[in-house]
Structure 1
């Protein structure tokens, strides 16, 4: 399973939706994920990919990690995997 599919699966589970309901343009807000749900999704992503995501739920705007859409989350995870596996 590639990064995109796994992230979509995790996000869909958090939003209680089917993966087919999630698009790369989906935002956490548009699929009903609140800040707590987002934190849980980030934890699940960290576990799934064995990486550490630099995300501060208390100050998301201070984070280098862009959570504005599924596409930016996937891109960020791919970048982190590349950085942390090297």
Structure 2
């Protein structure tokens, strides 16, 4: 299930960045992928819709957010955690 979630997240992020999913590495930051702040917000909305979760992200103050957006690995881990919590 975790690989499926990771692949779905990578696909969503890749679509936003107009890249192939295999180009979305754990180390890549949104900026590395060419995702600006608006694109990041759109990606978060897409992730929320895909997984039926609520991501605690404040676009106006991302540094104060409970959702770590520093790189794709942290985004994937946070979404996996939210999906697991939803299923519990």
TM over 0.5: yes
Which residue matches 1:80? 82
The Cα offsets for residues 5-28 of structure 1, whole Å up to 9 and x where unpaired, read as: 111101100001111211111110
1:65-76 matches, cutoff 5 A: 65-76=67-78
Which residue matches 2:23? 21
TM-score (norm 1): 0.94
TM-score (norm 2): 0.92
What CA distance in whole angstroms lies between the structure 1 residues aligned with 2:21 and 2:47?
15
Which residue matches 1:53? 55
The alpha-carbon deviation at position 2 of structure 1 amounts to: 1.3
The Cα offsets for residues 7-63 of structure 1, whole Å up to 9 and x where unpaired, read as: 110110000111121111111010100000000000000000000000010010111
The alpha-carbon deviation at position 84 of structure 1 amounts to: 2.5
